[in-house]
Amino acid sequence: MAFDPEDFRKAVVALTLGGVAGAAIVQSHHDEAKKSRAEIDDPEGTEWICNIVWDLLDDWEPPDMDCEDDYTDHLFRYLRREIGAELEEDDPDVALEKRTGTLHGIPDILIHDRLVLELKVSSKKSERDRLVGQCCEYSRGYVTWAIVIDWPEQRVQKLLDLLEAKSLNYIEVIEFDEAEGDDDEDED
């Protein structure tokens, strides 16, 4: 049988497309395994509340405050007020809870029993590591977002790199008031 370049090209394309499709299926199963209980139980409701909160966080401008608890209180009040204003007549009521006990710990803010916001102001390595542990545990039950305030850019990048290295990149990191410069306290 003679070598036909066109047949060879078709075989390569078929194998490549098959490989891409196979990779997509594997990735899909991988992503399914990483979903929180909230995403599995109510994907539409979880997406709905996440979209509302994402847009509201885009507009949140935290004032300069003394401690993490003050930022948490301010964000909680802001979200409670603004989510209420965003809801349409036929939307379900949205419960917001601050520092409430769950099966997965005590998150800073729990929204609609589907989304956790965990705030961190200190960018020390020990606080970063604590944040990763907390978010990892919360993400079993809820979509989990880490809110980092006044973190130097390189510290945020180290957090993102750590989440990626541990396959926890589904935990969203949202930055506010990025600090200029760097404090070298406790960093690896």
Please, is 75 exposed, middle or buried when counting C-beta atoms within 10 Å of its C-beta (0-12, 13-18, 19+)?
buried
Judge whether residue 72 has pLDDT over 60. yes
Q: For the chain, what are the domain ranges?
A: 1-34, 37-176
Specify whether domain 37-176 bears CATH 1.10.3470.
Answer: no
pTM listed for this prediction? 0.78
Please compute the mean of the pLDDT values over residues 46-70 and round it to a whole number: 95
Contacts of 73 (CB under 8 A, 6+ apart): 98
Point out which residues pair with 96 in neighbouring strands.
111
Contact between 65 and 52 under an 8 Å Cβ cutoff? The reply is: no
pLDDT in tens, 120-168: 997 788 999 999 999 999 999 999 999 999 999 999 999 999 999 999 9
